[in-house]
Structure 1
Amino acid sequence: MEESDVNKRIAARVRQLRAERELSLEALAERSGVSRSMISLIERGETSPTAVLLERLATGLSVTLANLFEPPATAATPVSRRSDQPVWRDPASGYVRRNVSPPGTLTPIQIVEVEFPAGASVAYDSGPRQKPAHQQVWVLDGTIEVTIGTQHYRLETGDCLAFVLDQPTAYRNRTRKPARYAIAIVMGTP
């Protein structure tokens, strides 16, 4: 899937989620900390938002970041073919994320694969959501550092970290080699 197609998908999905929650642009801006004008640009597909910006919108909409990459009003299907999985590159950090899970609501679990470039970092100022977002980060190749609030973890190939996404979270790759990891996400109490 091309980057412009992913940005269009994000635009449609943000509009859909905002409408479902009966939120005005102003209300979503207040809940997310993203300006009304930026939300408008995103909803029209006229900008390439960063991962940090999308995470703020996801928090304001009470969904996970992965939800923003699902097609709007999608019919649930049990299979997600690799060729249909949306791939998106964060314009700020260069990391590439691929939503692996089938779109829709067949399961509360979402799986995302991330390719994290050497030297890259991304920091989310996540806070509590209406429903808690439980995550597990499983390093498939390489080394990353994850900071959750004040706790710092160095993860190497095969390591897995479980946490609730309710405080600032940062990912760093201080090495000279790219890293690859999977994130499993469950919304609500498991």
Structure 2
Amino acid sequence: MDDTDLNHRIAARVRQLRQGAGLSLDGLAARCGVSRSMLSLIERGETSPTAVVLERVAHGLGLALAELFQLPPAGAAPQPVARRADQAEWTDPASGYRRRNLTPPGVDTVMQLVQVHFPPGARVAYETGAREPAVQQQVWLIAGELQVTVGAQTHHLAAGDCLAMRLDAPTAFHNPGREPAQYLVALATLPAR
């Protein structure tokens, strides 16, 4: 799947989720802090939004970023196996990081798996905080090194390290190394209390 096709599928997904939540473009803009005009461009597939913008949109919809990439092929019934060729892979135009959703799209599950290739020197900072329902995330570093700052605390990860955290504070990722960082992210939506 090329970037243009993926942008159009993300556009359709954002529009579907916004309409499903009963929100106008203005309503979502007020919730997520992304301008109405940018949301309109995203929904028409006329822009390549950054990871930071998409995370703000997801937060405004009460979702984890990974859920914007849960893109079942048009007209296809959900399948329990996500074949490699069908896994959506997206590159952040700002940092160059690549994410690939591993979880089969459309399958009802509380957990999502994402594989990330994070270039040397890359930084991404997500400013959003707590969300409902709450989301727990684990980052398992397969190769390279990674700094993850959650709120005021910075964690330095080496290959093989795994960080568990709740998505309830601003979070920043930075690859201080000279090699790409490869990691797996597992996200789980926690049941309402």
TM-score (norm 1): 0.97
Residue in 2 that maps onto 1:9: 9
Choose from 173, 176, 179 the match for 1:177. 179
| Alignment correspondent of 2:90 | 88
Residue in 1 that maps onto 2:70? 70
Partner of 2:53: 53
Contact kept? 1:141, 1:180, Cα under 8 Å: yes
| Equivalent residue runs for 1:9-158 within 5 Å | 9-71=9-71, 75-158=77-160
Instruction: Deviation per CA, 1:8-51: give whole Å up to 9, x if none.
Output: 11100000000100000011001101000000000000000000
Identity within the alignment, %: 57
Describe the SS at the equivalent of 1:91.
Answer: coil
SS of aligned partner of 1:98:
strand
Structure 1's unaligned 5+ residue stretches are: none
Take 1:116 and 1:159, find their aligned partners in 2: how far apart are those partners?
Answer: 16
Q: Counterparts of 2:139 and 2:71 in 1: how far apart (Å)?
A: 24
SS at match of 1:56: helix
Q: Kindly indicate whether the alpha-carbon contact (under 8 Å) linking 2:10 and 2:69 is maintained by their aligned counterparts in 1.
A: yes
Number of residues of Structure 1 aligned to a counterpart in Structure 2: 190
What amino acid is aligned across from residue 13 of structure 2 in structure 1? R
> Hey, what's the Cα distance between the residues in 1 that align with 2:33 and 2:77?
31
Unpaired runs of 5+ residues, structure 2, are none
Q: Which residue of 1 aligns with 2:165?
A: 163
Alpha-carbon distance between aligned partners in 2 of 1:172 and 1:63, rounded to the nearest angstrom? 23
Q: Which amino acid aligns with 1:78?
A: P
Contact 1:144–1:171, Cα closer than 8 Å, also in 2: yes
Report the CA distance between 1:179 and its aligned residue: 0.7
Q: Contact conserved, 1:132 with 1:165, CA < 8 A, in 2?
A: yes
Q: Assess if the C-alpha contact under 8 Å between 1:77 and 1:106 holds in 2.
A: no
4+ long deviations beyond 4 Å: none
Q: CA RMSD in A?
A: 1.3
CA–CA distance in structure 2, aligned partners of residues 75 and 69 of structure 1: 16
